[in-house]
Amino acid sequence: NHIQNKSFCVHNVCVCTVYLSYLGPPFSDPGFSPPRPNSSSLSVPSAATRVDLWRGLENGARLAQNQRAYSVLLCAVRELARSTLCPYLQSSLMHFCSGLSGLLGSISGLMNALGYTSLPPSTPAQGYAPLLSSQFQNMEGFWVLRELQSWLWRSAKDFTRLKKRLQRLATTVHGLN
């Protein structure tokens, strides 16, 4: 599962690179880092929480944050695909959406297995509504993909850490029997 998650992260980097090339300068320029839009339409949760605060959260809280973020990001990436004129990029984004949907299903399954409350699968992600201006859409697309990358790398680390904790717990419980 860890290898699949890393593969998913690598595929995201490829999709991001193609999307940024599609947008062109300045978005495709190395080192381009505009300020995050301060608009109500970009409600993609930021993965910029301090590491010590993030690690201090309970497993259920981290999983719930991941689930919420990926629900919103899935809607945002679908919107990027719908607004993209390049058929190859549109297909790549929709394929990536399939992977995100599978990741959401895995997170929900894990939360249920561990006894945590998860979002109902039919709950639409709240709060993502793209702006009308193409320049703002490009900026939002840039930030959606940047946040998606951050969430994927964070999740890969979280899931590895959670797997180790659960393995230790299972070993301890098995040793008591």
Q: What is the largest CA-CA distance in the chain?
A: 63
Whether the per-residue pLDDT at 124 is higher than 50: the answer is no
pLDDT in tens, 44-53: 778 888 888 8
Domains along the sequence of the chain with CATH: 2-176 (1.20.1250.10)
Amino acid at 22: Y
Task: Return mean pLDDT, the chain.
Answer: 79
Tell me if 57 sits within 8 A of 149, measured CB to CB.
no
Q: How confident is the model at residue 3, as a pLDDT?
A: 43
| Cis preceding-peptide flag for 35 (omega within 30 of 0) | no
Closest among 123, 74, 124 to 94, alpha carbons compared: 74
Average pLDDT over residues 97-108: 92
Q: Look at the alpha carbons of 159, 163, 169, 173 in this order and tell me if their dihedral is positive or negative.
A: positive
